[in-house]
Amino acid sequence: MPAWLPLLHAILAAAWLGCVLTEVAFERLLLAQGAALHPLLGRLHRRVDLAIELPLLAGVAVSGALMLAMRGGAVDHLLAAKIVIGLIVIAAHLWCIRLVLRRSAQALAGDAAGFAASDRAQHRWGTVVLLGLLAALVIALLRGGE
């Protein structure tokens, strides 16, 4: 396996985690300002998800799949756990993006009840994403950076 591939995977995953943490910060800040900023929050979060997070998620998935293919099937228990967690995180984040898009549309339409319901669901799934990314990071560290 080329030495740059695990490094690329780690950089992409770290950028993804950093982006998620940044979103947590602006979500908390803008939600605390009240319903008048919900359309701004919706547009901002939608843009970040589509322009930054989705490409990072795809990069992590592709680089992870490439590394797995290059291993020739040799997978220990920690790596298997990291793969399962990674797949859960990817699926949860894709669902989260769908919720972000729906919430954005609801904010722009003035649908306060729909926005609130989508917001709750998006934050629950976002928690799965954040905790999963952190768990994968811990496993990577336990495996010596891989």
In 3-state terms, what secondary structure has residue 146?
coil
Domain boundaries, the chain: 4-142
Report CA 57 to chain centroid distance, whole Å: 7
- What confidence tens digit (pLDDT) does each residue in 45-64 have? 999 999 999 999 999 999 99
Dig out the tokens for 65 from the structure.
């799949």
Distance CA 51, CA 109 (A): 23
Report the chain's mean pLDDT, rounded to a whole number: 94
Q: Are 87 and 130 in contact (CB under 8 A)?
A: no
Tell me: pLDDT of 87 over 90: yes
Q: Which pLDDT does position 74 carry in this prediction?
A: 81
- C-alpha to C-alpha distances, 60 to 74, 83, 114, nearest whole angstrom: 20, 11, 32
